[in-house]
A and B are shown apart, each in its own frame.
Chain A
């Protein structure tokens, strides 16, 4: 029992660590998509932010400045996306994919020119990274059975961005469902003409949604390079942006179900890591590749079958052009 409990605690712990960037990115995507703009560029923004965070933190030695750089870069990429598909009514998927491809190349090229380490940034230490935070009483409670382990291992001991992700969920929910901005945001993704005739600027709303979404995505990118890891590595987002987008769809564009989806994907990933090289009863050791594929297979299965019909915001993907 003891050993199993301990393993479970570790599993949950690492689930949270993996889920945090997914949650932040998915919530960022929620703003964009609820406003009617497809956000397939989450992956690129995440990667760009990760690079900006690591580079800025390496140069300045401050994780907070790294975070600011990440948010700045991600917002700028979001604005670029907006310029292409809001101002110029371009295709949102094409623009988003272009962003992903450009960023994947640009981070390596710029990183190589800047740090001469084959696209990587220097290893970060000390204040240049977000270190785990021990919540009050974590040390004291450590030895208390069950509760101690739950509190000290699962609740305490994460970096600040994990807590930000946790707070972001209810905050985004409140924002989207209880505020004027949220009401308009949900409306513009469903029927932009209704928003326009009510005297509200459709483009203005969508730009603001992209900026908020970009900022959240920036946090998730920073998490990858200056919290979870200690440097930028090429392509380190490794599909997490797409996974976040899948979680958003699986969560039907609602904050809490999206959180649940992120946790599910993260849990699959945590199990995947734990199972690598472990001999299972009856089957023995499963090749690593088969196990690594688990979260992605789960994504496909969930999206294909178990979600039911995900009803997307009706105006998503359609540029708004005021009719004559």
Chain B
């Protein structure tokens, strides 16, 4: 452990200490002798890859799990948490990655739940309303307290979670992967909130695997790998590269290594495409672009500007309401035989969907079954009308070996794999069927850094093999580092095209916000 914590922080008293925390779940040794000091009035980052044991550690700190050994001290006092309720009493509040909110309830009802002080709730609601308005003003946490949670945006829901913890008197706030579901703007807002909390003397623990955030907002960082603390460093003294190396345990290439593209013939040609969403609202409002062999075309944009509908329409899942679609020069817009997900796959259009849980795989299926979804009718997998399980399993195992999927067990349920490994299964499936064009939506959402590097390499290799790739991502870093051409989508139209040379966070960021560039 490095003790490079500067004096200003080291002099603060510890708000929360963990000493020698050890926890096993059956054969899995999730936490090994973890020790950690979080000082009052600081923002403390905990980083590590998926499965490194961060979430288990947090579960122990807020009383959801009980450690096998080790102790927790809050303000120097040894505490034993038997439930989250105990941790709350000691002043520890948790903001979960998947929000613990009751959607049909109003904000104030959600906040009061579990903290009602009388049998009739009226009084509690009145008191909470007043308290919430005060908290909202103090910490940039403005939310309409009488709004129904179901109507709130993801960012607002997160604020409700924070309010819940504060309302219960939390002095130490733990946030588990808080930006995973947020747009960049919402994430910025969250960081403003965290800084305001810190300014008021609250302590914040931020669990994440996004290095940029850690460098942005934290004071100290603890790095966890395979259940152990491998480093505790002052944020000011570290870099992205060294954190990544600590996390993964080897040098990680954050910038994708690639040669200039050698674009070939046009494969996918989209002209004036219009697409409506399920509610009938036009979300893609006349979009034109081409995808050639040997290039990666990136579409940047804040989530919800029509990218999802565009991808689904191209993949044949969603009908187009206008414009034309050409594949290798042939107009296929109205070709009913082709314009289905299956038909498009047959043509040679692979699709890594944005939402892997919902569209990419079936969580309850075995990995080998998820690994052939969409291709399950293909001859190699079938003997007459019967699926040849042996071949399916063998094929899946081969892919798992090639893509370093862990654990390499084709019979395991898909949901048992981590996000990164699930995504590898999908990428392996789509790349493995040798598409001419691959549609890729949010390839690294919820995927840890080692797997990101791997998936990015694969995509570049596919490009170099002369295939076209259309990449849609809300991660600007990803777009900037992978794309050979960058298109920016805003409110259903493409507001500009940039070459990687012209593009940087600022130029693309402005276009993402709807401000047209002269370069367009």
Task: Spot the interface stretch: B93-101, B282-290, B299-307, B454-462.
Answer: B93-101
B121 within 8 A of A: yes
B94 contacts A187, C-beta separation under 8 Å: no
Contact of A197 with B102 in the complex, beta carbons under 8 Å: no
Out of B85, B96, B100, B122, name the residue touching A178 (CB < 8 Å).
B122
Q: Tell me what chain A mostly uses at the interface: helix, strand, loop, or mixed.
A: helix
CB interface residues, B 66-115, toward A, < 8 Å: 83-85, 88, 94, 96, 98, 100-105, 109-110, 112-115
Distance A199 CA – B83 CA, assembled complex (angstroms):
7
Task: State whether the Cβ of B453 lies closer than 8 Å to any Cβ in chain A.
Answer: no
B81 to chain A minimum Cβ distance, whole angstroms, is: 11
Hey, which chain A residues are within 8 Å of B120, CB to CB? 178-180
Chain B residues contacting A197 (CB-CB under 8 Å) are: 64, 84, 94, 96, 100
Provide the residues of chain B in CB contact with A199, threshold 8 Å: 83-85, 88, 114
Of B100, B101, B116, chain A has the most CB atoms within 10 Å of the CB of B100
A194 to B272, CA, bound (A): 46
Residues of A287-316 at the interface with B, using a CB-CB cut-off of 8 Å, are 314
Q: Nearest residue in B to A322 (C-beta to C-beta)? A: B64
B113 touches A198 (CB 8 A): yes
* A190-B103, A191-B102 known; A183 vs B121 contact (CB < 8 Å): yes
* Known pairs A197-B96, A197-B100; A178 contacts B115 (CB<8 A): no
Q: Which of B64, B83, B103, B121 contacts A179 (CB 8 A)?
A: B121
Known: A179-B121, A180-B120, A324-B25. A200 touches B101 (CB 8 A): no
Chain A residues closer than 8 Å to B121, beta-carbon distance: 178-180, 182-183
Q: Which residue of B lies closest to A199 (CB)?
A: B85
Q: Is A169 an interface residue (CB 8 A)?
A: no
B174 → chain A closest CB, angstroms = 12
Interface flag for B502 (CB, 8 Å): no
Task: Give A193 to B59 CA distance when docked, in angstroms.
Answer: 14
Nearest A residue to B25 by beta-carbon distance?
A: A324
Q: Is B64's CB under 8 angstroms from A186's CB? A: no
Residues of A within 8 A of B114 (CB): 184, 195, 198-200
Interface residues of A in 183-236 (CB under 8 A from B): 183-184, 186-187, 190-191, 193-200
CB pair B102–A190 under 8 Å, yes or no, is yes
Within 8 A of A (CB), among B118-147: 118-122, 124
A179, B102: Cβ atoms under 8 Å? no
A314 contacts B103, C-beta separation under 8 Å = yes
Interface residues of B (CB under 8 A from A): 25, 64, 83-85, 88, 94, 96, 98, 100-105, 109-110, 112-116, 118-122, 124
Known A183-B121, A187-B113; 20 more pairs at CB < 8 Å = A178-B122, A179-B120, A179-B121, A180-B124, A182-B121, A183-B112, A186-B102, A187-B105, A190-B102, A190-B103, A191-B100, A191-B103, A193-B98, A194-B100, A194-B101, A197-B84, A197-B100, A198-B115, A199-B85, A199-B88
Q: List 19 A-B contacts (CB under 8 A).
A: A178-B121, A179-B119, A180-B119, A182-B121, A183-B113, A183-B116, A184-B113, A186-B104, A186-B105, A190-B103, A191-B100, A191-B101, A191-B103, A194-B102, A195-B113, A195-B114, A198-B114, A198-B115, A199-B88
